[in-house]
Structure 1
Amino acid sequence: MVISSQIAQSIVEETVKVIHRNINFMNSDASIIASVDQDRIGDFHEGALKVLQTKQTVIIHEDDEFKGAKKGVNLPVYLNNRILGVIGITGEPNEVVQFGEVIKRMTEILLKEAHLEEQLELENIAKVSFIDEWIDGDWEDDKLFAARGWILGINVHLPRVAVVMEIIGFNDVLYEKLKSHQADVKGELEFQRFRREILEMVQNHFPKESQHIIIPAGSTRYTLLLSVDETLSDQKRKEKIRYRLDKIQKAIHTVYGYDTAIGAGRMYLQPHGAAKSVHEAERALLHAKNRNHTSYFYDQLGIESFAYDLPFEIREEYVKNVLQVDSKKNLDQIIETLNTFYDAGGSINEAAEKLYIHKNTLQYRLKRIKEETGYDPRVLPDAAKFYVAITFHLINNGTKRTNL
């Protein structure tokens, strides 16, 4: 482990709380890399060099006894039986020597903690990199890839369902903060802390020893590769997934006040299926957002499962041809009316109630739509055209908003 100046400085700041004396930390080159006295950082410390050479405590009685050193005590600090640096306490030797062993032990404990955190961070980076490669489907040797996963504690051969969750509206909140006086380093740190808290909240909804994979995917998205039981019926498996996801969404809303949208892909039995399931989950998520649903499974999609593959211009032209409306205000009302009418299964009473209008008003709107477009929303072939047009409209507007 190479000690960074940031870690060394944090150790100095912690130890100075104990004895309220000037503390210096010297690296393996005998250079001061952290100190209460900032003017000394970067100086060569000959006393520390002697400590490194002899691996013994060095007491300095006079300021000029060693180059770049002041009187005090300097002690070697170890990690895993290897000397990593020197901790120095400035002051009258007969006063500071008594603190030497305590500060040395405290420094070694702090170094061990920093080392463990560094190892955990490196392990986390390795896991995220591996999972990104898995989601991209970008590997050549299946056996080698599975072995790498095994080392990281990940079994890639388990049946899995991908889920993509997005926190609705948080990007807008973040953008407004970045435009305002609140945009500073502290704000970025708060944002990163928020992301970690959400990640931990999601992780805490699953058993610690489970094979569920949860990682951040962008600023406000999280990708989950859920290990599932392939022997369950499709309906039962979905019920279990939906139950767990519903609890997560409620928890996020309760604690942070944010709504979430979730898309889930299909189950795949082989490692390469993860990439397909993630792609499906992303489409299901986009559809859930377009339809204002909290969650959607990919196999619930109808024409949406392939409509995203059509060029934007083709979808837009179809919408214009069917709806034949130039005014955005009229278009929004037609979309809202038809969408609600079809979601209500064609029930006038139910749709009118959802729209907060009288059923006669709804019938009048449907009649006007027929007159303006030439298609009757209550006739099945025409209703199919309208449904496709609404779907294309929602996809196009959703595509523009999310850049997917």
Structure 2
Amino acid sequence: MIISQQVAQSIVEEVQKVVSVNINFMNNEGKIIASMNKNRIGDFHEGAFRVIETKETVVIQTDEKWVGAKQGLNLPVFLHHQIVGVIGITGDPDEYSQMAEIIRKMTEVLVREAYLDKQFELEERAKQSYIEEWIEGNWEDDKLFASRGWILGINIQVPRIAVIIDLVGFNDWIYQKLRNYQADVGGELEVQRIRREILRLIQDHFPEQSQHVIVPSGSTRYTLLLSVDEKITLKKRWEKVNYRLSKIQKAIASSYPFQSVAGIGRMYVEPREIRKSEKEAYLALQYAKTQQKQAYSYDQLGIESFVYELDPEVRNDYVYRILQPDEFPRLNQTLETMDVFFQENGSINRAAEKLFIHKNTLQYRLKKIYTITGYDPRVISDAVLLKIAAAFYQANELFSKE
């Protein structure tokens, strides 16, 4: 394993917190790649080079004897019985001789943790790449593709549904955090750390040996391909998934200053059909956002199930022909009024109560819609046209922000 400068510096800083001594880390070429004294980074350290050659501790009594070295102890750092670097302790060797072995062991523990993190990252990248290929459905050999899945611990033959969780407000929160880093690489490392934390939080809500697959998908989203029991009813399946999602979303909200929204696709048995479920989950997610719901299933969608598949220009043309949005000074209020009125099946009393307005005010708003558009929300045939126009408008607004 080649220790990066960032990892080495983090190791040096962690060790220094425990033992207040000046620590340096040299790579397998004898070059100082991390130090509490930043001026020494990049210098050649002859003592460390000798450690690499002999795999033995080198004690330096004076600053003059070795090129680029100061008085102190230099110890080999091993990973899997191979030397991966040298940890240097600046100061009187006699003073730090008893502490030196502890520092070396501590360093090796931190190197091992960095190695495991790297392996985890590589495995997650491989898994993510495989799942992207799976969702695209473009592989040629079914047996070969399934075998690759088995290597990663994924059985693509079980019935599954796709779920997409989107973190609402995550980017704004991250932006505020990054302002403290002033373009330092530490800022990006912090972002990646938080994303991994959230991934683990989601994964912790499923059994370790299950066939549920959870991977990051984009900067704010996580895709879940959940194995499900095809023998239970649709209602029971929805209840089980929604219960699990509710717990995940509560955990996210309690740990971070943002909320999450989820879209759920339908169940499919054939591996190539997971693409359909993922697309359905995405459409359900968009609708959940427009309705400010925590979760929505594709099976719950009406008009919205095809709204997002139409060309934006087609939707836009229809919106301006039917709804004429520019003519409404308070368009959001108008859309909310229609939405609640339709939800209450045209009941003036129930809709007015839900909107917290007098029923005469509601009647006035409905007449205003008729005056501007020529379509009356109280007439079924006109209401259908207006409902579709409102759904199209919301879809265009949402996708313009993507």
Normalised-by-shorter TM-score class: 0.7 to 0.9
- 1:72 touches 1:97 (CA, 8 Å); kept in 2? no
Task: Provide Cα deviations, 1:317-346, integer angstroms capped at 9, x if missing partner.
Answer: 323333356522265444333221111122
Note the 1:51-70 alignment, pairs <5 A: 51-70=51-70
SS class of match (1:263): strand
Task: Provide Cα deviations, 1:276-327, integer angstroms capped at 9, x if missing partner.
Answer: 2111111111122223333221122223222223222322332333335652
Q: Partner residue of 2:79? A: 79
Residue type matched to 2:144 in 1? Answer: L
SS class of match (1:272): helix
Q: Bigger shift: 230-239 or 19-28?
A: 19-28
Structure 2: distance between partners of 1:123 and 1:40:
35
Note the 1:155-170 alignment, pairs <5 A: 155-170=155-170
SS class of match (1:268): coil
Residue type matched to 2:153 in 1? Answer: G
Q: Partner residue of 1:153? A: 153
Q: CA deviation at 1:161?
A: 0.9
Q: Partner residue of 1:314? A: 314
| Gap runs ≥5 in structure 1 | none
- 2:178 touches 2:187 (CA, 8 Å); kept in 1? no
- 1:30 touches 1:46 (CA, 8 Å); kept in 2? yes
Structure 2: distance between partners of 1:88 and 1:293:
56
Q: CA deviation at 1:356?
A: 1.7
Residue type matched to 2:216 in 1? Answer: P
Q: Partner residue of 1:276? A: 276
- 1:265 touches 1:280 (CA, 8 Å); kept in 2? yes
Q: Partner residue of 1:296? A: 296
Relative to the length of structure 2, the TM-score reads 0.86
Q: CA deviation at 1:372?
A: 4.8
Relative to the length of structure 1, the TM-score reads 0.86
Q: Taking structure 1 as reference, are residues 65 and 229 closer, same or farther at Cα in structure 2, changes over 3 Å only?
A: same
- 1:59 touches 1:93 (CA, 8 Å); kept in 2? yes
- Is 1:351 the counterpart of 2:351? The answer is yes
Residue type matched to 1:151 in 2? Answer: I
Tell me which structure has the larger Cα radius of gyration: 1
Q: Partner residue of 1:240? A: 240
Structure 2: distance between partners of 1:362 and 1:348:
7
Q: Bigger shift: 21-30 or 263-272?
A: 21-30
Q: Partner residue of 2:205? A: 205
Structure 1: distance between partners of 2:172 and 2:401:
11
Q: Partner residue of 1:396? A: 396
Q: Taking structure 1 as reference, are residues 357 and 22 closer, same or farther at Cα in structure 2, changes over 3 Å only?
A: closer
Q: Taking structure 1 as reference, are residues 161 and 53 closer, same or farther at Cα in structure 2, changes over 3 Å only?
A: same
| Gap runs ≥5 in structure 2 | none
Structure 2: distance between partners of 1:389 and 1:219:
31
Q: Taking structure 1 as reference, are residues 381 and 80 closer, same or farther at Cα in structure 2, changes over 3 Å only?
A: same
Q: Partner residue of 2:103? A: 103
Structure 1: distance between partners of 2:310 and 2:20:
69
Q: Partner residue of 1:4? A: 4
SS class of match (1:292): coil
Residue type matched to 2:263 in 1? Answer: G
Q: Taking structure 1 as reference, are residues 68 and 326 closer, same or farther at Cα in structure 2, changes over 3 Å only?
A: closer
